[in-house]
């Protein structure tokens, strides 16, 4: 969730801001630039808060560097003005799109809280003229966890643990949070369960659905914490169990997933520079698969992974720098220590071939649709899908991957599906698609997304999204009324 953004500009001068819809009328005699008009009466509906505008320009699908390292221009807005004009000058002539975010700032850390946003269609800046844009603003569609706005939230998952109700759990490097409310209205606050005093010797990389093998009956729900020293598990009570992956050793685990295998348990994980897992049939698993390529690869080996957890042919699917591969459950079961290199020769590789060039298209993200037993594969050319076999076979895919035409040309770096919707993210937008109708709604990142997305999960048809700038929830049904 990875990610994004590059831009360039010479000189920026402001005057005021807010957003949405474009009409361009070049005026001779001025250097090329933008004159952005904002309806202040729409913005200042709350008293006692100061509003700011963030102005972004895009060239194609890439941000144009306005405002130096921030990649945007910020302007404080005048509550007394009927209309505010923001002037952005000395922009090279060319084709652009405009993003605006209008909002307030969190008092604790100055984090930007989006209330409205604007996204223009593409327009042309003509040399020697100024383009005028009248903005009509849209409400931010996200409910935000206000008390962690601007904080690095590196994981989010919906889980039911023991007697606890279905709950949102979220993690930061030194924090674990929860929320058990309804995401249909005002912004919310998450409850801090653990903080830096509880993690003195390690940090959390992500949080995910976990399971606990008891030796009696099917595994029960737990929470997995993927950490800098391995995988910890939590049952909703007072103590976090850091002994679960003791047989693995102190490994920097970035993300982990589990699924039941009858009365046993299978776990897959992504580590710094590699991957692994274990087939657990004892209270303390010992025969961990641990593939480590940090000595050979400068970059991260695994870009994304998912598990097919409702088939007789359970497996982990990984998108890696060495190619995309399936690790069948049987490999975990038959693994013995020291077989790391041999393991990579046993996995099943798969690929997407470009029909025009006959070249392989790298897969960078993966998602599994349990309703259709289909694997979704994000690439820099769009989102592809293919069914996976429902019996034990050496073939990772049971058909040739097909492009989802509406995603053609988009770089899809994250994808998540439920029974009703597909959610997938490019470097500029979050896309929501209704599976039955095929209708798509796109939201630019300036609409209130929490920075670079780290994780997504479904709570019914509400999408939970964490990122390096916070945690939000989106009732997707409201976008398709």
Angle at 245 between CA 240 and CA 249, to 5 degrees: 120
* pLDDT for residue 341: 57
Per-residue pLDDT of the chain (481 residues; tens, 9 = 90+): 333 333 222 222 223 333 322 333 333 334 478 899 888 877 766 667 889 999 999 998 888 888 777 789 999 988 777 678 898 888 888 999 999 999 999 999 999 999 999 999 999 988 888 899 999 999 999 999 999 999 999 999 999 998 889 999 999 999 999 999 888 778 999 999 999 999 999 999 999 999 998 888 889 999 999 999 999 999 998 889 999 999 999 999 999 999 888 788 899 999 988 999 998 888 888 889 898 888 776 678 899 999 987 667 788 999 998 899 998 888 887 766 666 556 667 788 999 999 889 999 999 999 999 999 999 999 999 999 999 988 777 789 999 999 999 999 999 999 999 999 999 999 999 999 999 999 999 999 999 999 999 999 999 999 999 999 999 999 999 999 8
**Rg, C-alpha atoms of the chain:** 24
pLDDT attached to residue 184:
75
d(C-alpha 457, C-alpha 178), whole Å: 14
What's the pTM value of the predicted model, to 2 decimals? 0.89
**Which tokens in the block code for residue 423?**
């959610």
HSE, side-chain direction, 13 A CA sphere, residue 304:
24
At residue 69, the pLDDT reads 72
Cβ atoms 398, 383 nearer than 8 A? no
**C-beta of residue 466 within 8 angstroms of C-beta of residue 452:** no
CA separation for the pair 451, 448 (Å, rounded)? 8
Return the pLDDT at 336. 65
Which residues on adjacent β-strands are paired with residue 86? 36
In angstroms, rounded to a whole number, what is the distance separating the alpha carbons of residues 189 and 149? 10
Measure the CA–CA gap between 324 and 346, rounded to whole angstroms.
13
Q: How far is CA 316 from CA 257, 275, 284, 437, 473, in A?
A: 9, 10, 21, 30, 28
Listed in order, the ranges of the chain carrying CATH 2.130.10.10 are 143-480
Pick the CATH number of 27-139 from 3.30.1660, 2.30.30, 2.60.40, 2.40.160: 2.60.40
Could you give the CA distance from residue 285 to residue 479 in angstroms, rounded to a whole number?
Answer: 45
**pLDDT given at position 223:** 97
Burial 177-213 (b: 16+ CB within 10 A, else e): bbbeeebeeebbebeebbeeeebeebbbbbbbbbbbb
SS (H, E, C) 200-263: CCCCEEEEEEEEECCCCCCCEEEEEEEECCEEEEECCCCCEECCCCCCCCCCCEEEEEEEEECC
Fold for 143-480, please state it. Answer: Methylamine Dehydrogenase; Chain H (2.130.10)
Measured distance CA(316)–CA(235) in Å, rounded: 24
Return the DSSP state at 344.
H
pLDDT of residue 478: 95
Residues of the chain with CATH 2.60.40: 27-139
């Amino acid at each position: 969730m990875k990610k994004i953004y590059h831009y360039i500009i010479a000189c920026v001068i402001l005057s005021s801001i807010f957003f949405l819809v474009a009409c361009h009328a070049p005026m001779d005699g001025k250097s090329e630039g933008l004159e952005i008009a904002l309806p202040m009466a729409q913005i200042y509906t709350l008293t006692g808060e100061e509003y700011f505008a963030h102005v972004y320009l895009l060239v194609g699908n890439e941000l144009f560097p306005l405002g130096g390292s921030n990649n945007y221009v910020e302007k404080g807005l005048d509550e007394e003005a009927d209309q505010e004009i923001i002037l952005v000058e000395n922009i090279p002539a060319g084709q652009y799109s405009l993003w605006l975010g209008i909002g307030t700032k969190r008092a604790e850390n100055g984090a930007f809280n989006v209330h409205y946003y604007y996204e223009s269609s593409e327009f042309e800046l003509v040399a020697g003229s100024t383009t005028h844009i009248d903005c009509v603003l849209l409400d931010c569609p996200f409910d935000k966890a206000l008390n962690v706005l601007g904080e690095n939230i590196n994981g989010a998952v919906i889980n039911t643990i023991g007697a606890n109700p279905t709950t949102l759990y979220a993690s930061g490097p030194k924090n674990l949070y929860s929320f058990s409310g309804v995401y249909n209205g005002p912004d919310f606050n998450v409850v801090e369960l653990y903080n830096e005093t509880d993690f003195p010797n390690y940090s959390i990389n992500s949080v995910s659905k976990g399971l606990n093998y008891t030796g009696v009956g099917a595994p029960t729900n737990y929470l997995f914490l993927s950490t800098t020293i391995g995988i910890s598990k939590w049952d909703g009570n007072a103590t976090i169990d850091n002994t679960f992956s003791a047989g693995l050793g102190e490994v920097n685990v970035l993300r982990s997933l589990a699924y039941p295998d009858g009365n046993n348990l299978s776990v897959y994980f992504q580590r710094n520079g590699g991957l692994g897992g274990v087939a657990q049939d004892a209270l303390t698993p010992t025969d961990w698969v641990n593939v480590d390529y940090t000595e050979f690869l400068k970059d991260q080996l695994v870009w994304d992974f998912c598990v097919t957890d409702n088939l007789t042919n359970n497996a982990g699917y990984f998108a890696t720098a060495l190619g995309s591969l399936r690790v069948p459950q049987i490999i975990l079961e038959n693994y013995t220590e020291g077989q790391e290199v041999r393991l990579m020769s046993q996995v099943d590789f798969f690929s997407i071939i470009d029909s025009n060039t006959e070249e392989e298209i790298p897969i960078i993200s993966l998602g599994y649709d349990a309703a259709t037993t289909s694997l979704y594969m994000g690439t820099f050319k769009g989102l592809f899908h293919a069914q996976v076999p429902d019996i034990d076979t050496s073939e990772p895919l049971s058909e040739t991957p097909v492009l989802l035409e509406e995603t053609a040309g988009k770089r899809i770096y994250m994808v998540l599906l439920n029974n009703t919707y597909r959610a997938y993210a490019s470097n500029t937008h979050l896309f929501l698609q209704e599976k039955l109708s095929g209708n798509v709604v796109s939201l630019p990142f300036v609409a209130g997304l929490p920075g670079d997305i780290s994780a997504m999960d479904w709570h019914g048809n509400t999408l939970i999204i964490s990122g390096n700038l916070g945690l939000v929830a989106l009732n997707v049904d409201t976008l398709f009324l």
